[in-house]
Chain A
Amino acid sequence: MRDAPSLRADADALAAPLPPLMADAEHLASTMLLGDHGRRRSGMGEEFWQYRPAMPNDEARLIDWRRSARSDTHFIREKEWQAAQTILIWVDGAQSMEFASKGRQTKADRARTLAMAVAILLLRGGERVGLTGADVPPRRGEVQLLRLAAGLLSIGGGSTDYGAPEITGMLSKSRALFISDFMGPLEPLEAALTAAADRGVRGALLQILDPEEEAFPYDGRTVFESMGGRLQHETLQAGALRDRYLQRLAERKDRLAELARITGWQVDCHHTGESAQAALMWLFGALEKVR
């Protein structure tokens, strides 16, 4: 378990190389809060958009005199319409996320780091980021980072074997990010996704797996236990189960992809053996995409 400053430092380091993440603010009306998101049209904002000739109904104070002085007509300086997006992140805090094969990070650690990195990017982009399940409502600003970090750290060490996503407090038309191993029963996820889709929430599912879960390199007589010890399965030839296990895992991934496809979410699988950067890149793409 790590303390908040180090978590933030890690996440800062991870987030540093990427440009501010521009989340898709598709439905401006539902949130209507100004952010740093250019809407590619003129409107309220801080960034310069274009000069246009002044119309008779324009207020005189809107005229840009510096530009107008260079020609005979009057110009008005328009700014880009900017809007902020609300993004809710859910990180699975169940015990199954505490698994780590030898010499690797636990899945929970990786999930927190990624969530924090995404949060940093989003906050820098002017978005409002919050956590579901840890009661951190979406807000803007640097201070929110500290709240998010504290919230993420409070999530860990859940009492259940497998977690279920929470969608409480999710604003309609906002965006969401679920990070979990999705090893538990899929019904709660299905329900959550359906409910989210009903509210017009789109987002991304990031499945984090340990390489051992992907390879199943076990042999011989073995008793497999869930991290909390509630589930048990004994086998005499673990090696013989490998193929069927992998098949089930593949089925599960297919199922996730299917759910995502139906609800308009995006899904990716990330392994703790790989670089977190790759996952962050994907998250960047998934949350930035304008549809």
Chain B
Amino acid sequence: MLTIGPLGFTAPFLLLALIALPILWFLLRAVPPAPIRRRFPGVALLLGLSDDETQSDKTPWWLLLLRILAVAAVIVGLAGPVLNPRSEAAGSGPLLVLADGTWADARDWARRLDRIEVAVTEAGRAGRPVAVVVATDLPEGSLPFQAADAWLPRLGALSPNPWQPDDTLAGWAAAQDGDFDTIWLSDGIDRAGRDDVLAALEARGSVSVLESGRSVFGLRPARFEDGLIRMTALRAQPGTEALVTVTARGLDPAGIERELARIQTEFLPSETEIEIDLTLPPELRNRITRFELSGIRSAAAVSLTDDALRRREIALIAGRDDREGLELLSPLHYLEKALVPNADLIDGSLLDILQANPDVIVFADVARVTDEETAALTEWLEGGGLLLRFAGPRLASSDISRDLEDPLMPVRLRIGGRSVGGAMSWGAPKALRAFAEGSPFFGLPVPEDVTVSAQVLAQPDPDLADRAIASLADGTPLVTRKPVGSGQIVLFHVTANAEWSSLPLSGLFVSMLERLAVSSRTAQPDAAELEGTVWEASEVLDAFGALGDAERLRGLPGERLAEGVPAADMPPGLYAGADRRLALNVIGAEDTLAPAVWPERVSLSGMDVREETRFKGAFLTAALLILIADLIASLWLSGKLRPRGRAMAGLVAAALAFGAAPETWAQTEDEFALAATSEVALAYIVTGNERVDEVTRAGLEGLSRVLYQRTSIEPSEPIAVNLEMDEISFFPFLYWAVTPDQPIPSDLAYAKLNRYLRTGGMILFDTRDADTARFGSSSPNGRMLRQLARPLDVPPLEPIPDDHVLTRTFYLIQDFPGRHVSPDVWVEAAPPDAEQVDGMPFRNLNDGVTPVVIGGNDWAAAWAVDRRGAPVYPVGRGFAGDRQREIAYRFGVNLIMHVLTGNYKSDQVHVPALLDRLGQ
């Protein structure tokens, strides 16, 4: 092999053929392209003219160069050029390829695999046995030395792990016997025990270390301080500026994971740590499932959040808030004080609050809730809500849950409650009994000074013992609990303020709320707290920072979890305990990152692999391309390419023109909205039949003029609406002329239409065939109308009754003619219970506007005017026709009035009665 710089040739002798190129130069100066013979009378004028360039009597030099280049490319290509030809690796004997395989490797694992493959291939060329070992997943027993060919297919299965090599690595390395060389692909992170491993490996043979220069980033767990979410981003190597983006990810209301927040910050050259503060509204904050450094695929760049970040939403509702100013007596005062530090409080009416789906609803002395609220609360409870109730004078005096257990009370109550230790009673105020095992409060110390002087008493039902979770020294239940679905109801038998007991004044109250998961703990549980608990991994991270299921992992004792360092049996992830979830992250709250330091004697090199690239194919392809270019050039030279060239130019120009076209849509949409909303505009639906559309437009223009002249409605120009593309919610009124050949709107358009009809829009369907057909499917237009209206949300219809509000919204009319005079005009039917009251001219009819008016009188044609305001189409005959047109206009005015004012005229029928009453 001949090598020139980075380029080598497998068959260098072929390059000798390049000497022949100058000969080709002469050979290829071939005869010029054959001339074209042209008959041309003007030749007499040409006689005696000589060509300017003598050169072009031969092949042009550039064509010649092209041909020579092609030949040269063929010669060089056949000589087999190779870029970066690999020289044989030095060394002999077995080779160990040791990869750290930690989360820090994950970011460029593909490159590391490439490098391992190169090392294995080289060893295979040299005939050396190879073992490939990932330090985080050590093989059992001795090193698995095998031929390189056996390793190559298995390399792809190697993967990094989201933990670090443990202490056993040094011992494992020392335990190996036999001599071998080592290539160590380090992850570049400093960790204890590395020197021991290095020493053990060097005892067996030479060690060369490969490290990529890329910096390793990490993210410490987020904590919640002073209303801010605070995080620390780490990196191993200072020295350069680096931009990092932290994104908070979580579920959106639809349950799809997406980015909730994003913050960008920069490492100064000297920094290895930066603090990041994030403010988020509680709704978003509670949904966060993890933070990550975006763009970095590593488990260290992901920080899972557990319950520590979560702030519970609590709604406080008091039964009595009429005594302003008595804050210390307020039933909610102590609750608010206890909850504000670590929960978000919501105000509002009960039904509004339920919409927000809070975690806890607190009823302080609330006796009655309505049936509707009860149903909503029950649904919420079954979905996992916690209803916390406190007793009080109202609850005690009400008859709630007396005979039958109220669905929102855990127990039945006895009438009146009791009061102990007061001025008028025997005995001293009662103290609390220590909490029994099985109670959620078990283990909380009971202070001596907490006394109860009044309470409501539970009826001694069979299940009272199970439901009581705290009781007084004399055994009367103080706190009772009942599960409802996956939620629960808890009743404190005392008030939430200090009226009945001193409990709310004590620290125990806060602890009890905490135990009830009313307020969340923000502190990470310590080892003592975790002792004896068992945790189960619910989701685990892989080294690349992706969450996966944790099916195969066994339950983990709390002590182990308290160590907080991920290992093979404890991968980072989310661990679920009895009542909360804990996140175990790759980077702990105290961890730092530092670059690995290697002793001088170790040969350290980068990860870059210079690929051996064979250029044979490329050169031959280039030769082929050059020959094609030569062909085209030759054709062009001989003038045979001209017209086609022009056609191509035309095509290109046409393509460019096409590309520029579709840009106008977005801005026209805005213009459309502006035109439709800046003034009232009547609109019609485009049927696709130009003539019909023009009639409709002219008709609406005529109606608009009449409205402008006679009423306070001053519409602008009518607007054509395309159901598929335009927004129709801008228009109070749509005119829909039915033609037998118009396209059926798409489902999306129908959804739009139904929304339009439900929210108060009106559509006037005009089949325009009342002269030949009655209402129904007897005509093509009628059949089309049925087809069009089938998916629509049309209420039951009836012919316009005599007392319909349409007959009197502006004019008093009884007929609704257009060009045709048919009585068949249908509107929404009156409710069946509408009855005529004695003395009233009209029934008290439905409230809203009829969403559809259906008829076939071709009103638009009767209304239609041209630009000068003259009628376009004849209506009727003579004066009778004029009268008919006038009534048609009046119907139009009434219709638009009805659309815009609703049942206003219906209400006016009560005016005599109102005046009558006012007179009294």
Contact = CB atoms under 8 A, between A and B. Distances in A.
A184 B56 CA distance: 30
B47 interface: yes
Nearest to B34: A221
B36 A99 contact: no
B44 A162 contact: yes
Contacts of A184: 44
B53 interface: yes
Contact of A231 (B36, B37, B47, B51): B47
Nearest to B55: A236
Nearest to A213: B42
B68 to A, nearest CB: 22
Q: Which of A236, A241, A252 has the most CB of B within 10 A?
A: A236
B41 A221 contact: no
B40 A225 contact: yes
A24 interface: no
Given A218-B38, A221-B32, A223-B35, A232 B43 contact: yes
Nearest to B43: A224
Given A183-B44, A224-B46, A225-B43, A219 B35 contact: no
Q: Which of B36, B45, B47, B642 has the most CB of A within 10 A?
A: B45
B36 A222 contact: yes
B35 A221 contact: yes
Nearest to A231: B43
A224 B57 contact: no
B689 interface: no
Contact of B52 (A96, A213, A233, A237): A237
Interface in A202-261: 210, 212-213, 216, 218-227, 231-237, 240-241, 244-245, 248-249, 252
Interface string B30-73: 00111111111111111101011100110000000000000000
A181 interface: yes
Nearest to A228: B39
Q: Which of B32, B35, B41 has the most CB of A within 10 A?
A: B41
Interface in A130-163: 161-162
Contacts, number: 101
B711 interface: no
A225 B38 contact: yes
A241 B53 contact: no
B639 interface: yes
Q: Which of A185, A210, A219 has the most CB of B within 10 A?
A: A219
Contact of B33 (A213, A221, A233): A221
B637 interface: yes
B51 A236 contact: yes
Contacts of B41: 96-97, 99, 161-162, 181, 183, 210, 213, 226-227
B34 to A, nearest CB: 8
A234 B48 CA distance: 10
A220 B639 contact: yes
A16 to B, nearest CB: 32
A185 to B, nearest CB: 8
B44 A231 contact: yes
A220 B639 CA distance: 6
A221 B52 contact: no
B168 interface: no
B742 interface: no
Contact of A241 (B38, B39, B46, B642): B46
B352 to A, nearest CB: 83
- Identify the 3 closest CB pairs spanning chains A and B, nearest first: A220-B639, A96-B41, A224-B43
11 contacts: A99-B41, A181-B41, A183-B42, A183-B45, A212-B40, A220-B639, A221-B33, A226-B41, A235-B51, A236-B57, A237-B56
Given A224-B46, A227-B39, 10 more contacts: A96-B41, A99-B39, A213-B41, A216-B42, A220-B33, A221-B34, A223-B38, A226-B39, A237-B56, A245-B45
Interface of A: 96-97, 99, 161-162, 181, 183-185, 210, 212-213, 216, 218-227, 231-237, 240-241, 244-245, 248-249, 252
